[in-house]
Amino acid sequence: MGKGKKWLIGCLGTLGVCGIGTYAAVSPYVDFLGASRDLDKEIARAKALGNPMTSTELVPPKPADKDNAAVELKPILQTGEKNSKLSTAGAKALEAIGKNNFAEAETLLKPYQSVLATARKASSKTKFSLDRDWDTGVHLLFPEYAESKGLVKALAAQAELDFQKGNQSAGVANLSAGYKVGQFIGQEPILIGVLVEIANRAIASRAAESIAVRQRTNLAALSALESAVGNRPAPDFKNSLKGEMFMGTSTIRNLDKYGGVTQFMRSMANMGGVEESDIPPAPDPKTLRRDGVPKGVLEKAFLTRHLAIWNDALEQLQKTPEPREISGWLDKKVAEIEQKKALSFLLLRIMFPVFSQAGNAVVKCQATEGATRGFLKVLKFKASTGRYPNDLAEAGFNEMDPFSKAPYKFYRNGDLVRVYSVGPNGKDEEGLGTESRGSNSKPDQLDDIAVRTDRPVKNTKIPGA
């Protein structure tokens, strides 16, 4: 039997174990060999586009400890009983504040004052590195992300207490630290990091809204709050895409360390009904292949397909840097990949992330913080003049809604005030968002992104709705 035929039978046997008979419509020999021959071309494209082929190209060198916020934050963000209690305390404190039970909130946060002080200290830095081993691919875990939300909730709750007691400088420090913790997480080049950053910044913005409503007649407090909210850069969606690309590259480069192609795909997709004990453990970091290309034709073909889609994505991002557009483009590519019959696309189907709504989330973050700045301008105008502005321009707010590319909207009915973005559907719904939807609402109805004096409470009538 010829060498080519032996290789073809090996391919079919390897992939047949996974139960993938439907892919046989395309000749595996022609498919894998043809794809692998394009690998050098795709590597050259990756280098030209700035797609990282090594972890040193993905992340900058670890900063000195004196510049690295992770030195202080890592112990706080590690999973454990103590930090879990902090997360619970932060959530319960925000809930208590929502019911005007400030004494309860203060009691809940009292045991964690040293932790919050450490977070404030860390927030004065600009760099954040947990010194991860990005070459570990799909085995790389991010337990710090969940804990970061608990920390931000505690900081936000403490900021509300500070402003309530008239300690504006302390409130600014705590709220600023909450925003900064979110931004630190977003520095990591991975999609989930950007999504957690957005969630953390949303927690801080909701606290800013609450403080503004309580301090609406206090011009000094509103000015201080304005400095805490600031005008922060948008989450770095492009950087997160590069991390997703590299995670796939590092995994394919080390498929043999996961038990080979067959075992890896069975583990990822559970096609063969494997038991948890059958899933290969994380490879020994000392044995990882950290640069170069794999030797096998199958692995080379998989890497070619992987690099090609991500190179296309980077090229598209250069043409359309708007996060919603590139997210939609990627979702279309996911749908196309799902229809591919060639076996060389199989690993890409399993590993390619889902981008649905990720682009919207980035723009929502920008819209929320922009609306918060506009809301503060309106309340400051009222506090200084005794009347509300006729429009946002009169209040000195001229920013554009990132969804409509037009000015933000302003709704007022007596002392009910809303500054808002029209949201993803582009419709002006008087500042009513998803929390205002009834059971009969359609998905594209009521998605305005508002900062408002009438934040609805569950099961209560919404003023002005």
What does the pLDDT read at residue 353? 80
Considering Cα of 197, then 438, then 407, then 175, what sign does the dihedral take? negative
User: Is 316 buried (19+), middle (13-18) or exposed (0-12) by CB count in 10 A?
Assistant: middle
Over pLDDT 70: what percentage of the chain? 85
What b-and-e string marks burial along 15-53, b requiring 16 or more CB atoms within 10 Å of the CB? beebeeeebeeeebbebbbebbebbeebbebbeebebbb
What does the pLDDT read at residue 205? 98
pLDDT band at 80 (very low <50, low <70, confident <90, very high): low
237 and 88 together in one domain: yes
What does the pLDDT read at residue 1? 45
Q: For residues 465 and 33, which has the higher predicted lDDT (pLDDT)? A: 33
What does the pLDDT read at residue 21? 44
245 and 321 together in one domain: no
Lowest-confidence segment of 25-29, 287-291, 394-398 by average pLDDT: 25-29
30 and 137 together in one domain: no
Within a domain: 143: yes
Closest CA to 132 of 118, 142, 124: 142
Tracing tokens 């922009």 back to the chain, one arrives at 370
78 and 227 together in one domain: yes
41 and 66 together in one domain: no
Domain stops at, among 305, 327, 356: 356
Within a domain: 446: no
Within a domain: 437: no
237 and 143 together in one domain: yes
Domain stops at, among 313, 335, 356: 356
What does the pLDDT read at residue 323? 92
Over pLDDT 90: what percentage of the chain? 70
Q: Is the pLDDT of residue 13 over 50?
A: no
What does the pLDDT read at residue 17? 41
Q: Are 129 and 62 a contacting pair, CB within 8 Å?
A: yes
Average pLDDT value for the chain? 87
79 and 113 together in one domain: yes
What does the pLDDT read at residue 310? 95
**pTM score, two decimals?**
0.89
Q: Are 292 and 279 a contacting pair, CB within 8 Å?
A: no
Lowest-confidence segment of 80-89, 203-212, 335-344, 432-441 by average pLDDT: 432-441
312 and 329 together in one domain: yes
Domain stops at, among 254, 273, 303: 254
What does the pLDDT read at residue 133? 95
Q: What is the mean pLDDT of residues 191-216?
A: 97
Cα→Cα distances 121→66, 71, 259, Å: 11, 11, 45
114 and 212 together in one domain: yes
What does the pLDDT read at residue 275? 46
Q: Is the pLDDT of residue 48 over 50?
A: yes
What does the pLDDT read at residue 459? 32
pLDDT band at 26 (very low <50, low <70, confident <90, very high): low
Within a domain: 410: no
Within a domain: 412: no
111 and 223 together in one domain: yes
Q: Is the pLDDT of residue 295 over 90?
A: no
CA dist., res. 319 & res. 274, Å (int): 43
Within a domain: 202: yes
Host domain of residue 341: 3-53+281-288+292-356
Within a domain: 99: yes
Q: How many domains does the chain have?
A: 2
Q: What is the mean pLDDT of residues 35-42?
A: 96
Q: Which two tokens stand for residue 390?
A: 């006729």
238 and 319 together in one domain: no
What does the pLDDT read at residue 267? 60
Q: Is the pLDDT of residue 95 over 90?
A: yes
The DSSP H or E segment spanning 452 is strand 449-452
Q: What is the mean pLDDT of residues 456-463?
A: 38
Within a domain: 402: no
CA dist., res. 174 & res. 154, Å (int): 9
179 and 72 together in one domain: yes
